[in-house]
Structure 1
Amino acid sequence: MSHGWKVTVIVVAVAAMVSTPLVWLMNGPDGGQFIGASVQAAVGIVALLWAILQHPQRQPQDRVSQTGVAHAEDGGTAHTGIKRPGGRGRGAATARRTGKATARGRHSSAGTGIDHG
């Protein structure tokens, strides 16, 4: 479960546990209202516990290390790390000891490490 959904479930659970049962119990409940308030509070507690005990989703991890040498010429591109065009991708990205990247010529590019371009 993502963090956003976890927070949402927790807020709704707390609201369910507090809102209606509190109103019913403050106005002198009859038997049906007391049972309804108890059931609603129990469902809120179960939802709260369920949300708290959920493990976070595993995010992918991009890793690169000890890459070789890359050369680009005449408009080419060389990259010895991780490419995430437009910043796309989730999770961690780690680049260690990447190789050398060189670019020669017009419109050529080279990079090492993590490229969000």
Structure 2
Amino acid sequence: MPRSWKFTIIALAVAGIASIPLVWLLDGPDTGQLVGATLQFAVAVIAFCWAVWPDAPRGVRARFQAVRTGAARAEDGGVAGTGVRVRGQRARHMASARARDTGKATAKGRRSKANSGIEIS
């Protein structure tokens, strides 16, 4: 969920929770008003918890991590990189990938590539 939606839902939930004593209960509530206040409170608490709760991991969400990668060097028109480089839609279908404590990578010559981390294209 986008961060702006989370903030909006949290603000509305807090407003819903705070308005219960102000609107419903200050005027001597009857049974209907107590039921309405209870439902309003329950919905506001559920919305608040749903917005604050961290997103559950999904199998289609890709997570990549490159830690302490080695140096990458490019010579004579080559391309070299370290860290994580993901291009295209292919990465959406991958679960995860991790590179840690990798060695040096050198690309020599035209159209050569070197990466000491993760590259998916």
Tell me the TM-score normalised to structure 1 length.
0.50
**Max Rg structure:** 1
